A and B are shown apart, each in its own frame.
Chain A
Amino acid sequence: MSNGRKNLYSGIFFILFSAFLFIESFNIKMSTADALGPQFFPRLVAFLMLVLALILIFLSVKNWNQAKAEEAAMPAEKRKITFNFPLVASIVLLLAYFLVLQHLGFMISTAVYLFCQMFLLLPQGSFKKPRYLVIVTLVSVGLSVFIYYLFLLAFSIFLPAGILG
């Protein structure tokens, strides 16, 4: 995407977001303690956001031709959004980590997370090489066990223990 297109899209997002801020401000419980009340700032921010978003859109539309030219000069693979497996997998992995953390506990979840994440960062195909498998397994298991016990024994911090607890 060219910068112009990015700005246009983010401008639209911010308009929607400011609308959300404004509408949701009506759900705030009124207070009488001070003159401004709890709705004033959110509405002010919503208004400022709207103005700035409009400026952003205005600028991007004004320079639209330039953006077009910029886009044409880009390599094809960068021009549109394509499915990026390591990125999507990393996001899914992080969310999954949060979801299972309380059930599986810190040690297991973190070890699995580290294992997967490292292979997502290592060059494609590393998974098949035994050398990498050994290193990654050792590091991910060792590190999670180490962190868990370090915090439990030395600092008395109870990381979620899960099924091992």
Chain B
Amino acid sequence: MKKRTRVLSLLTAALMTCSLAACSGGSSSSEAASSQPASEAASQGGSEASSGEAKSVDFPTKPIQIICPVAPGGDTDRNTRVIAQIMSKYLGVNVVVTNVDGGATVMGMQQVLDSDPDGYTMIINGCDMFVPYMMGTTDINIDSFKTVGVPIIDNTTVLAVHKNSGFTDLKDLVEKTKANPNTIEYGGKIGATNQICGVAMNKEWDAAFKFMDVGNNAAKMTALLGEQTDSINISYSLAKDYFTTGEFQALCLLGEGKNELLPDVPVPEDYGLKNVDFSKFFWLGVHPDTPDEIVDILADALQKTTEDPEFIANMEENYLTTVCYLKDDAKALCNDYYTRTMEPYKEEFLAQQ
């Protein structure tokens, strides 16, 4: 074993060296490789850190974790990593993403509630946090935490169909579902927000989609590409290629209003249908007993993150909207989402389970 560990440490060292070499040959100005207490990050964020100290609490002095309650690889994970990277610049310490998957995000939320209320463990979540609460499988919801803020809104969810499906526009699709109720599929993941979206579409547009469990985003794309299902909802950026080639058609944006970054995608209102809002917010919270001073420091860093040009550019690349709602404003925003876009469909959603 000793031999092996020695090799391990050697290799780690080698790896570090060459990754650093790659950094120096690299492109961007951001060097906050969050796998090591980046000295450069500390110096960049030095002034901010000292302004934090001025608020009489010495925070942060060690790395901060953001618990991401889903497995690595999805959009939540991606956004969390970008937030962590930029935030570490302004907090002067390493911000690390820790994935705790499971229980429809409940596992990760529980882990934050079980941690010390010292601000070193944050949680990120989106609309999905309300689903298990709505189903009655947990008591945890946004009120179980202190809210730090909402830095991103993802208004890129579109209703997509395959080009061979013959649906010309949203109106056409909705009419066809009315003509043949429960034959035209809307594929999604059971027990997730996209199922609620299906309920909402049927209710608001008097449509009759047949909800079909297809799986996660990757599976939804596969199903639509293979023309196994008729329509799906998906983040525009995930299927960007297919919209560009025309293989997929984005019939409408499922958001509150038009997304300026996606000028070509119509909204239901353009067809005289009510807008169905399934845009997503990304929310950061901490343990409810965290001292207010610490929440202030975190919220401050989050605000600077949302003003960071690199951050904004990265989000725009994926058509995401950078916003800055902090603490109670953010909480009100999230609760508004819940009462507006989820609660009205609760009964039908539960009946489908």
Contact = CB atoms under 8 A, between A and B. Distances in A.
Q: Are chains A and B touching directly in their complex (CB below 8 angstroms)?
A: yes
Contact of B5 (A31, A32, A146, A153): A146
Given A156-B34, A156-B96, A158-B98, 19 more contacts: A32-B351, A32-B352, A32-B353, A143-B1, A143-B5, A146-B5, A150-B8, A150-B9, A150-B12, A153-B37, A154-B12, A154-B16, A154-B35, A154-B36, A156-B36, A156-B94, A157-B98, A158-B65, A158-B96
Interface residues of A, number: 15
A98 to B, nearest CB: 16
- Chain B binding surface SS class: mixed
B5 A156 contact: no
Given A146-B5, A150-B12, A155 B352 contact: no
Interface string A32-59: 1110000000000000000000000000
A11 B289 CA distance: 52
Interface in A116-148: 139, 143, 146
Contacts of B351: 32
Interface residues of B, number: 21
Interface in B232-277: none
Interface in B202-226: 213
7 contacts: A29-B353, A34-B213, A143-B1, A150-B8, A150-B9, A155-B35, A157-B98
Nearest to A161: B62
Interface in B275-327: none
A69 to B, nearest CB: 45
Contacts of B94: 156
A29 B350 CA distance: 12
A155 B351 CA distance: 45
Contacts of A158: 63, 65, 96, 98
Contacts of B2: 139
Interface string B1-16: 1100100110010001
A143 B8 CA distance: 13
Contacts of A143: 1, 5
Contacts of A139: 2
A36 B48 CA distance: 58
B190 interface: yes
Nearest to A102: B114
Contacts of B1: 143
